Structure 1
Amino acid sequence: MGSRIILLSALLLAIGGAAAAGSRSWKIATVVDQADKCAGRRIHIRRLPARFNEELLRNCSAYSPAYDDFCPYLANNGLGQKTFNHSRSWYRSDPAVLEPLFHSRLLEYPCLTDDPSAADAVFLPYYTAIDALRYLYGPLCNSSFEHGVELFDFLLRDDPGIWARRGGHDHFLVMAGPAWDFSQSPAADPPIWGTSFLELPEFYNLTALVFESRSWPWQEQAIPYPTSFHPASLPRLEIWLGRARRSRRPTLMMFSGGGGGGGGGGGGTNSPPNIRRSIRAECENRTALCEFVDCSNGVCEHDPIRFMRPMLRSVFCLHPPGNTPTRRATFDAMIAGCIPVFFQEDSARSQYGWHLPAAEYERFSVHIPKEEVVARGLSIADVLLAIPRAEVRRMRERVLELAPRVIYRRHQSSEELRSRKDAFDLAVEGTLRKIKRRLRSLQEGEVELSAAL
């Protein structure tokens, strides 16, 4: 950023050579004002060898059995292929490509600096979740405890002063998965699911942006899963939100997901009672009130039409936990104006504080303890039917007000849309705040960093 300001100052002076001195001073002051807007917000993108990012994308067809072909999801700077040829906002997005998507957006960030010593934060463009696939499915599956070791070795060899200046406390990266996927104990024998990246002491100081954080490590922060909606202009965002606002909603509630049936997915007839089985049973018994969209075996993952239409015609969307508490469908539902219903606190309230204020959850969502449903037979539909219609309207309006905060707009979007903060903007702002508080606590000699965060 500093070099840009110097060049711009020189250009303004040259243009203003024939103008009055007062005019020149005004132009230079404008440059200084612009520089001040970046105070405390400067980010340096660390230059990493291609093997940590670009080469991982070039090898996109080598990730079976995790994906038949990963390549289509890399189109459009990580947004994926369009849902149909003339689509301008809807893509077949895969959550795992949030890393290149985030990287692409950060390259447009207005307060980048080439000087790491002037940076308030340092971004590592390491496509962690994509690289993890070779440890999860490939020949390195018994070496998952080594995930991240190569990266740390590079950081210490290549300009080690960047890392050493603050011991990594000012570094951050994006990990397109739940933290649980990267927190296997290095001593696990035999290895269990996941890698050990977040358990390596070398990375204890950096901030990890994940889809789902654990409750105790202070370096983790959950950010929204990417939806399939990536508008490039404010009118396209407003047209969609207007459609969601006007949509007729004859269905009381809907659930899109797998599990809970007689087959696999953790909900077979021989499995113990669980919330997904209870939801499916209620939907099957009260078809006039509940719609079920079977997304078993990933059939909905890259086909938003399957679930967005039912979400648009439903008042409430049910979000039971699955393998982990959080769900991408939470954010799909919000942009459809479908009021989320949660069944445990860590499905959202304790996760996405930068994007969905924890103190406001009663204003835009419903919480029904899963134990009440599974063990005591509480009817979900009866709880929802008891909510006054006026309150339902207010909740839906608040959901749609919050929706722009959980989408990732398309790269190179209009200036008008860039004035509205999206999931990326809020993630960057939150990261800068988190790093600033951590560095301040270090300067003040705080021993227990978690108390300051």
Structure 2
Amino acid sequence: MTPCKSIPRLTFTFFLFFSLSSATAAAAHLQSESENSNSECKGRWIHIRKLPSRFNLDLLTNCSAYPIYDDFCPYLANHGLGHKTHNRSHSWYRTDPSMLELLFHRRILEYPCLTPDPSLANAIFLPYYAGIDSLRYLYGPEVNSSAEHGLSLYRFLQQDNPQIWSRYSGHDHFLVLARPAWDFSQRLSNDPPLWGTSFLELREFYNITALTYESRAWPWQDHAIPYPTSFHPPTLALLRLWITRVRRARRNTLILFAGGGGVSAAPNIRHSIRSECDNSSAISNDTTTGTLISGQSKVCEIVDCSSGVCEHDPIRFMRPMLQSTFCLQPPGDTPTRRSTFDGILAGCIPVFFEELSAKSQYGWHLPEDQYEQFSVFIPKEEVVSKGLRIIHVLKAIPAVEIRRMREKLIEMIPRIMYRRHGSSLGLKAEKDAFDLAVEGTLTRIGSRIEELLAVR
């Protein structure tokens, strides 16, 4: 395998090792201080399980080894944030969603309630880069051994201080999977194997909590957390500056779709969107559909993101999103999209076409019972099969309602972004996507352990 080209292995490994060592020492100090002062860490202690480097750092050295997938070496920079979009940028990075495991690992080193003693921990974090490790089963030479994904980790957990795992049979353990849960849900009985690995199908891992981009309909193990956007502010001032820009943005476009697909004649929601957008001038001249919102000059715009051209270039889609009132969020290969969070970040009201696209996914980060306050839902069947015009629906929404929805989105921005590691104390007072993920995980694990102890 070709070693990572963008980051020298020894330099990168040493830096993360130094960070891990420092965090462990800091955690011991924090715990001592906290216990002496009876701080707010009660019920919030997390122990980071020390894993051999083959489960995390060593995986990064193969960042250019999967040509069918991509060379992800450039996206390892800044602990998974990627390179800055330009040299003078303080908050914007070319972030690849598959680096969430690395980003999360770096952020948890700053968590204020770390403990070096697993027996005192309320939760155990496994710094295993499972999504990156899955590449060798999905695209590499071990594609026919995908049912074995995770077994080596389990064997290590059983052999190295097995009492840590056996205390609650793994119920107190959690990790991050930087792919949809479906990619880890291949049935063990599939022979030959189909797409994905069987990590979440292994009975050995039935009890863990897995944080993924997209959970399944029966979220026993997995819970969805936001895709990382390209926005990672280091200070509260920069966050407020962005929010001011979002609030003051001139929205001269009614509808935006940033994405690919829909170019074939096959009937599906993306094809319907493209067709309607192409004919938007004729639709907007229909006197039965009302008029554009004051100040808008364009009905519909498409930012073509085919072949992944937008993924690491936020300028392509963020500017159009800032200029648009509604951002269409149709399902693709899976129901959820990173674009949903890009749109929220830009104050562009999301339009969903499936319940699974967000409403049944992100309960820790998006207000589960208030979706009508910040989004629009149009069943895709009504559009594809019954000819309902998306433009007609959206143009009928009163301007005062649109302003209220946008204010709700702006209120949500801190909750769906991942701030930069090492950020200022002022910004740390704002709970971000990482904070809410950890908070939700601790609550979930706490409830499980209570149930477990009740039946013992």
TM-score relative to the length of structure 2: 0.89
The answer to whether the aligner puts 1:237 opposite 2:247 as a matched pair is no
**How big is each residue's C-alpha offset from its partner over 1:379-404, in whole Å with a ceiling of 9 and x where there is no partner?**
10110111110000000010010011
Q: In the alignment, is residue 38 of structure 1 matched against residue 41 of structure 2?
A: yes
Change in Cα spacing, 1:328 to 1:5, as seen in structure 2 (3 Å) is: closer
**More deviation in 130-139 or 286-295?**
286-295
The answer to whether the 8 Å contact 2:30/2:114 transfers is no
Write out aligned runs for 1:214-253 (5 A). Answer: 214-253=216-255
Deviation (angstroms), 1:373: 0.5
Matched pairs, number: 415
Pick the aligned partner of 1:364 from 361, 369, 374.
374
Which one-letter code corresponds to 1:124 in the other structure? L
Q: 1:6 to 1:293 in 2, by over 3 A?
A: closer
Identity across the alignment (%): 64
RMSD: 1.3
Q: Does 1:52 align with 2:52?
A: no
Q: Using the alignment, how far apart are the partners of 1:31 and 1:201 within structure 2? A: 37
Letter in 1 for 2:409: V
For residue 269 of structure 2, the aligned residue among 268, 275, 286 is 275
Q: Does structure 1 retain, via aligned residues, the 8 Å contact 2:59–2:133?
A: yes
Letter aligned with residue 41 of structure 1: R
Whole-angstrom distance in 1 between the partners of 2:199 and 2:193? 13
1:211-252 Cα distance to aligned partner (Å, 9 max, x none):
000011311100000000000000100101110110000110
2:185 is aligned, of 183, 186, 189, to: 183
Q: Deviations over 1:324-376 (max 9, x none)?
A: 00000000000100000000111001000000011110100000011110111
1:244-287 CA-to-partner distances (Å, cap 9, x unmatched) read 110000110100111101xxxxxx22x3x110000010111115
Q: Aligned partners of 2:86, 2:184: CA distance in 1, in Å?
A: 35
In structure 2, what is the Cα distance between the partners aligned to 1:47 and 1:409? 25
Matched residue, 2:335: 325
Shift of 1:31: 6.7
Is the aligned partner of 1:172 residue 2:182? no
* Post-superposition CA distance 1:59-101 (Å, at most 9, x none): 212122110x211100011100110111110000000000010
Which whole-Å CA distance do the structure 2 matches of 1:349 and 1:217 have between them? 14
Aligned counterpart, 2:87: 85
AA in 1 matched with 2:335: P
**Residue matched to 1:65:** 68
* Alpha-carbon shift at residue 3 of structure 1 (Å): 4.1
Partner residue, 1:154:
156
Counterpart CA distance in 2 for 1:62 and 1:192 is: 22
The AA in structure 2 aligned to 1:56 is L
> CA, structure 1 residues 39+7, in 2 after alignment: closer, same or farther (shift >3 Å)?
closer
Partner residue, 2:29: 4
Give 1:72-111 correspondences, 5 Å limit.
72-111=74-113
1:257 to 256, 259, 262: 259
Q: Which residue matches 2:17?
A: none
Quick check: 1:286 aligned with 2:296? Answer: no
> Which amino acid in structure 1 is aligned with residue 249 of structure 2?
S
**Amino acid in the other structure paired with 1:52:** F
Q: Secondary structure at the match of 2:434?
A: helix
Aligned AA (1:50): S
1:267-416 matches, cutoff 5 A: 268-269=264-265, 271=266, 273-286=267-280, 288-416=298-426
Pairwise mapping of residues 400-439 of structure 1 onto structure 2 (< 5 A)? 400-439=410-449
- Give the counterpart of 2:141 among 123, 139, 142: 139
Distance of 1:433 and 1:217 partners within structure 2:
15
- Residue aligned with 2:455, SS: coil
Provide Cα deviations, 1:93-117, integer angstroms capped at 9, x if missing partner.
0000000100000000000000000
Give the unaligned 5+ runs of structure 2.
1-25, 282-297
Q: Give the stretch that moved more between structures: 287-296 or 237-246.
A: 287-296
Q: Which amino acid counterpart does residue 278 of structure 1 have in structure 2?
A: S
Counterpart residue type for residue 40 of structure 1:
G
SS at match of 1:36: coil
Write out the 4+ residue segments of structure 1 that deviate beyond 6 Å after TM superposition: none
Aligned residue for 1:156, secondary structure, equals helix
Alignment match, 2:285: none
Between the aligned partners of 1:276 and 1:45, the Cα distance in structure 2 is 43
State how far apart, in whole Å, the 1-side matches of 2:64 and 2:240 are: 37
The alignment status of 1:125 with 2:127, answered yes or no, reads yes
Give the letter aligned to residue 106 of structure 1. Answer: I
Q: Which amino acid aligns with 1:237?
A: L
Distance 2:305 2:75 in 1: 19
- Which amino acid is the alignment partner of residue 42 of structure 2? A
SS of residue paired to 2:423: coil
Whole-angstrom distance in 2 between the partners of 1:224 and 1:345: 16
Q: Distance in 1 between matches of 2:54 and 2:46?
A: 22
Deviation at 1:177, TM superposition (A): 0.8
